[in-house]
């Protein structure tokens, strides 16, 4: 049975979909059979980032509505990486179990299911959270984003999530030195979530870390590899020097 990992955030645009793709790719490169599920109905990003949108004919809502067999819905991108799209338009109904029901049918075929949630606390989060057991909350280094991460973390705790971790994205060493950002300790204190990893600001993230073969020299790709190893249970120390 797959380990299910929800990728959530309070504020939008902090890098959830990017992280879902990069982590999915890192896990697949480690030999883990990985399914990335886009849970953002009407706002598919994962299949656009991974350049397979035209191949995504079915989505999880089609499966839950009985219009498609679960095993026919994901699109396989490589030996270990598959993508399941969200519906192309916003849903008018709650469909709160649609993602969970689909994931339950698919999870025996995967080691990891990564669920890319929409930002915030709405029913899109509930739909994605219902399908997951662990969560990674993404935030950038500003107070608003970290405060919002704390709110999402509390909401997920109320839903029964035990394993919550923080992914600090777009960390900029120079901005941190100028004190334009919170310190890492302040972020952990304010969010009340244990830090899993830090991903640096990296202009090459879309073209190298997410889309192309992962080059060893790309900083964000290295960061996601370390985070993927931690998700797999390896003890990989945080090395701030590697972010420079």
Kind of pairing between the strands at 81-84 and 75-76: antiparallel
- Examine residue 12 and tell whether it contacts ligand ATP (CB under 6 A): yes
Answer yes or no whether residue 140 interacts with Mg ion by CB under 5 A: no
Question: Could you tell me how far CA 192 lies from the centroid of its own chain?
Answer: 19
Phi and psi at 15, nearest 5°, equal 115, 25
End-to-end CA distance of the chain: 38
Q: Determine the size of the site formed for ligand ATP (CB under 6 A).
A: 20
Count of residues that bind Mg ion according to CB under 5 A: 3
Place of tokens 């608003």: 144
Interface segment toward ligand ATP; rule CB under 6 A; list 61-69, 84-92, 121-129, 194-202: 194-202
The reply to whether 64 sits near ligand ATP by the rule CB under 6 A is no
What radius of gyration do the chain's Cα atoms show? 17
Q: Does 201 engage in binding with ligand ATP (CB under 6 A)?
A: yes
CB 184 within 8 A of CB 195: yes
Residues 23-42 that bind ligand ATP (CB under 6 A): 40
Which partner, ligand ATP, Mg ion, none, binds residue 170 by CB below 5 to 8 Å per kind? ligand ATP
16 near ligand ATP, rule: CB under 6 A: yes
Whole-angstrom distance, CA of residue 13 vs CA of residue 17: 9
Return the closest-CA partner of residue 184 out of 196, 170, 168, 199. 168
Among 34, 145, 169, 214, which residue interacts with ligand ATP (rule: CB under 6 A)? Answer: 169
Is 146 a binder of ligand ATP (CB under 6 A)? no
Where on the chain is the footprint of ligand ATP (CB under 6 A)? 9, 12-18, 40, 45, 118-119, 169-170, 199, 201-202, 205-206, 220
């Amino acid at each position: 049975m797959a380990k299910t990992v929800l990728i959530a955030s309070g504020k939008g645009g902090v890098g959830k979909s990017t992280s879902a793709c990069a982590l999915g790719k890192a896990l697949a490169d480690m030999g883990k059979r990985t399914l990335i599920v886009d849970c953002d109905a009407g706002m598919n990003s994962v299949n656009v980032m991974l350049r397979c949108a035209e191949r995504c004919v079915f989505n999880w809502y089609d499966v839950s509505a009985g219009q498609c067999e679960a095993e026919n819905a994901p699109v396989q991108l490589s030996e270990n990486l598959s993508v399941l799209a969200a519906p192309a338009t916003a849903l008018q109904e709650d469909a709160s179990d649609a993602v969970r029901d689909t994931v339950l049918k698919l999870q025996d075929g995967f080691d990891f299911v990564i669920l890319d949630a929409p930002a915030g606390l709405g029913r899109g989060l509930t739909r994605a959270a219902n399908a997951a057991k662990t969560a990674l909350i993404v935030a950038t280094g500003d107070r608003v984003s970290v405060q919002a991460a704390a709110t999402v973390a509390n909401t997920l705790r109320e839903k029964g999530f035990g394993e919550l971790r923080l992914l600090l994205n777009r960390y900029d060493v120079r901005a941190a030195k100028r004190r334009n950002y919170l310190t890492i300790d302040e972020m952990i204190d304010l969010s009340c979530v244990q830090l899993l990893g830090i991903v640096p600001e990296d202009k090459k993230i879309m073209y190298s870390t997410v889309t192309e073969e992962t080059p060893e020299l790309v900083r964000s790709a290295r960061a996601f590899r370390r985070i993927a190893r931690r998700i797999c249970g390896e003890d990989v120390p945080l090395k701030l020097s590697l972010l420079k």
